[in-house]
Chains A and B, each alone.
Chain A
Amino acid sequence: MQVETADMVKVFSRPQSLTAAKSTYCPGCHHGILTRIIGKTIDELGIAERTVCIAPVGCSVFAYNWYRCDAIQAAHGRASAVATGVKRADPNLIVFAYQGDGDFASIGTAESIHAANRGENITVIFVNNQVYGMTGGEMAPTSLVHQKTTTTPAGRDPAQVGYPIRFSEMIAQLDAPTYITRQALFDTRRILDTEEAIKKAFENQVNEKGYSLVEVLSTCPTNWRMSPIASNKHVADVVTEVFPLGDLVDRR
């Protein structure tokens, strides 16, 4: 369909810092919203030309495709250590690691905690959707009690595999981190809150304030076997009970 554009005003477009690459995320997944928020933040701060994205292993492994900035694909769990290496090599670069719950809070446990404990001047985006999305829906360290996954077909049994790990709260016990917050994307208000948090987390780095971590509760309609709308409701009603929203540390 041909649309006459002469008298139309463009009110919404892709952030400059995002590429036109086709998304590999499933319908209803929150990664897309979050990617847009990060792109918008990079635009607003005018830092695209000195930003380096550290892509993880997992659904967001292709993160290096989404942003119009330099990027490094890291080994599973090592994004915070790779970010450390980049930032120490050139402190003028703005380095952000984008990591899922398996990457950040399971296989990368040591790297995640120690980068935070050194107070590395980096920004970590930690996407918590309580499941291993890319490999087919296995249990994550953050999976809820009784949550059915392909490796907990009868539901997560705490007697066998423990409880969902509140990783941000663990890191909040450390003295070094500057800013730790947990946000969500299940409605407009939370999306706006997340925008604000992400912007703070990048600004902290620009202003050399130190380590910032934004945990974002996300959905996985595919592996949760829920509709996108039911998934949003699940985050609002159930997930936030286990992972309460809000700032855990703010030492700016």
Chain B
Amino acid sequence: MGKRDLLRGNEVIAEAAIRAGCQCYFAYPITPQAELLEHMARNMPRLGRTFVQAESEIAAVSMVYGAAAAGVRTMTSSSSPGISLKQEGISYLAGSNLPAVIVNVVRGGPGLGDIAPSQCDYFQATKGGGHGDYHMIVLAPSTVPEAGELTMLAFELADRYRTPVMILTDGLLGQMMEPVELPEPIDPASIPAKPWATTGASGRDPNIILSFDLDPEVLRQMNLDLQAKYRRIEEAELRYEETMTEDADLVIAAHGTMARIAETVVRRAREEGLKVGLFRPITVWPFPYEPLRELSSHVSTVLTVEMSAGQMWEDVRLAVAERAATPFYGEMGGIVPTPRDILSEVRKHAG
């Protein structure tokens, strides 16, 4: 067992990014992700790496676009209103096949909303967000240690598929402190070569990074290539976790912080003799439709619990179709449902 530190989610994501070989970090301050930015400000220059506090979220993601094109591991982070501003750059990253990591420490919305935890950016993260037919891999950690592990993974997947990857978390996980054994730093030699990067056309033809072609035939092919990549990701990168689902009659579907709370609910429900399990997508894009479809044919109810008006609920209903009942329970505006709230919903549907 390695050394364990008591750290906030935001700090763990920052430190994991450093250990994953992030060379350039660009961001703009916003609550509740400020500790992430501040950790990078303290540590990146000390390591001879780049930290730039950008003039805006748009500038930050554009700097990420440049650094990614130049072939280094790069990241930006923000919270909901800031992520809205980054959508332009995310669309360009996706369209230009550039690897980058974007962290969204979600807060209540819409508009300026508040600074309390929420999951109301699920649609934005998983369905596109910016313009054009694109997706990015979206990883939703439910504990502080997992936030670190998934940040390491995010850089790996970004490089493997040349795609933006989002860590979708919320203010609760960002601010919460837990004992963490930080992941070991990667060996920089393990980062794949990037022969496509704009590193200077020395001894080769020029490399051009772009998401643009005025010829619809060419742009169609660029889109077909993107879609083929998304199918490969769906095939290989689905991640989810099932807890006590073997004999379950009711399954709670929840991601991130909500799944963490739902785990407590599952334990309490079991103490009451209710056969309750948990289905937790870890990749919310690609969403684990097939595993949930399979599971739903053995249960009577899939109860979706979210800190939103029911965004992941749409994906759950797509997966379950008519195989089981699909009730929803959610809170909005930064209200975090308690285990007691969720348990009373479970009792309603389990009995």
Contact = CB atoms under 8 A, between A and B. Distances in A.
Nearest to A90: B70
Interface string A75-114: 1001001111111111011000000000000000011011
Given A69-B201, A110-B55, A111-B59, A85 B64 contact: yes
A105 to B, nearest CB: 16
Contact of A86 (B26, B66, B212): B66
A93 B26 contact: no
B84 interface: no
Interface in B26-71: 26, 50, 52, 54-56, 58-60, 62-71
Interface residues of A, number: 36
A241 B25 CA distance: 44
Given A70-B199, A93-B199, A114-B59, A82 B66 contact: yes
B269 interface: no
B62 A111 contact: yes
Interface in A45-76: 48-52, 54-55, 61, 64, 67-75
B181 interface: no
Nearest to B73: A89
Interface residues of B, number: 40
B62 A73 contact: no
Contacts, number: 136
B67 A68 contact: no
Given A81-B54, A85-B64, A70 B210 contact: no
A73 B209 CA distance: 6
Contact of A70 (B52, B88, B200, B203): B200
Contacts of B68: 85
Contacts of B226: none
A86 B52 CA distance: 13
Nearest to B26: A85
28 contacts: A48-B201, A61-B212, A70-B199, A70-B201, A70-B207, A72-B66, A73-B212, A74-B65, A74-B92, A75-B88, A75-B92, A78-B58, A81-B62, A81-B66, A82-B62, A82-B65, A82-B69, A85-B68, A86-B66, A86-B198, A88-B52, A89-B67, A90-B71, A90-B199, A110-B58, A111-B58, A111-B62, A114-B54
